[in-house]
Amino acid sequence: MEGSYEKILSKLSKLSGIEEGEIDRRVEAKRSKLSGLISREGALQVIAAELGISFDNEKLKIDELLPGMRKVHFTGKVITLYPIRTFKNKNGEEGKVCNMIVADDTSNIKLVLWDANHIDMIEKGAITEGVSVEVLSGNMRQGEVHMGSFAELKLSDEEFSNVKVEKPVKKKDIKEFNVGDKVNTRAFIVQVFDPRFFNANLETGRKATEEEIAAGVPTEKRAILNVVIDDGTENTRAVLFHEMVQKLGLTEYGNPDKIKEQKESILGKEMVFGGNVRMNSYFNNQELIVDSVQDINIERLIDELE
C-alpha cells in the first residue's frame, strides 16, 4: 500500500523535476545530519521548503496529510460527530471544543474544533453527520487536524459515496511510525515490564471505582503490560491491555512466580503487532497501543519475500 510519504514524494518529484530516488536520498541525508531526530515525513517537508515548494493549502487527500503540516486543505464527509464539550482555560475563562471524524475515499482523520464560529455551525445544525465539509488552514497535530480562529471550515458540495470508515492499516517499520497511524509491524520483544493490575467493572470495562466495588458491582482482575519492541530500524514502547496481554502469553495473574516465568518466555520472541500510534504526554514520546498480536506465519512470510 502506498503511504503518505510515497504520495508526497511523488508530488514533490513532479513539481521539482527531480527524480524520486534523488529526493529520497536527500531525505535520508537530512535525517542523518540531524541524528535521526526528524521523521522521514518531516525531512521531506524540509527538503520541499529548500526547493521553494510549499504544500500550504494545496488540496490533498486525507492519506496524504503529513505530521507537522500547516495550513492543510482537504474535503471529506463527516462520519462521526461527538458532543460539544466545555472547559475552562488557565485564566478561568470558559471555552468549547468539538471533535468529529471526517473521511474521504483514502482514509479518515479526527478534526478538532476550537473556534466559536465553527462550533456555532454545529450548534445551529448546519454541520451534522453525513454532510461534506471543506477544511482550509488546519494544522496537523499528533495525527489530528486542529482548527483555530485562522482556519476555515465550510460546507462542501463534493459527494463521497465510498468513504474509508476504518483507518487503513499500514505495514511500517518502527522508524516510520507517525502519531495517528494504524499499523502492523513485525518486531522482537526486547524488554518486558512487570504487568499492572486493576479491577474492571464488567459492565463498562473501565476501572471500577471504590464505590462500585463497595456496592458489589461485578468486577474482573485485568492487566496492563508495557513491553519494548524492536524491528532493527528502531524500538518503541508497546502497551497491551487484558486480552492482548493474555494473547501474548501472560495468563497467571495470581501467581507471581508463574508470571515471571511467562515474562522470560516471551523475551526475545518475534511477533506481528498491530495497533494505533499515539503520543504519550507523560514521557513525550510515541508508543503503540496494541490491538492485535500474531505469531509469525512462516509460510506467509516466505510468500511475501518471494
> Residues, the chain, total?
306
Angle at which helices 20-33 and 40-50 cross, to 10°: 110
* Mean of pLDDT over the chain: 88
Q: How far apart are CA 136 and CA 100, in angstroms?
A: 16
pLDDT digits (tens, 9 = 90+) for 160-194: 989 988 877 778 899 888 888 889 999 999 999 99
Q: What pLDDT is attached to residue 1?
A: 43
pLDDT digits (tens, 9 = 90+) for 251-305: 887 788 998 999 999 999 999 999 989 888 777 889 999 988 988 877 665 665 5
Q: What pLDDT is attached to residue 270?
A: 93
Nearest to 63 by CA among 112, 24, 9, 8: 8
Q: How far apart are CA 285 and CA 121, in angstroms?
A: 35
Residue ranges of domains in the chain, CATH in brackets: 1-54 (no CATH), 57-165 (2.40.50.140), 169-305 (2.40.50.140)
Q: What pLDDT is attached to residue 134?
A: 97
| 121: Cβ contacts below 8 Å, ≥ 6 apart | 127, 153
Q: What pLDDT is attached to residue 207?
A: 84
pLDDT digits (tens, 9 = 90+) for 44-97: 989 998 999 888 888 999 988 887 788 999 999 999 999 998 887 767 778 899
> pLDDT-derived band of residue 3, with 50, 70 and 90 as boundaries?
low
Of the chain, the percentage scoring pLDDT greater than 70 comes to: 94
> pLDDT-derived band of residue 114, with 50, 70 and 90 as boundaries?
very high
Burial class of residue 105, CB neighbours in 10 A (0-12, 13-18, 19+): middle
- What are the grid coordinates assigned to 243, written together? 486480552
- Cβ contact 55:69 at 8 Å: yes
pLDDT digits (tens, 9 = 90+) for 189-225: 999 999 998 888 776 677 888 888 888 888 888 889 9
Q: What is the mean pLDDT of the segment spanning 33-52?
A: 84
CB atoms within 10 A of CB 28: 12
Instruction: State phi, psi for 138 to the nearest 5 degrees.
Output: -80, 155
Q: What is the mean pLDDT of the segment spanning 234-245?
A: 92
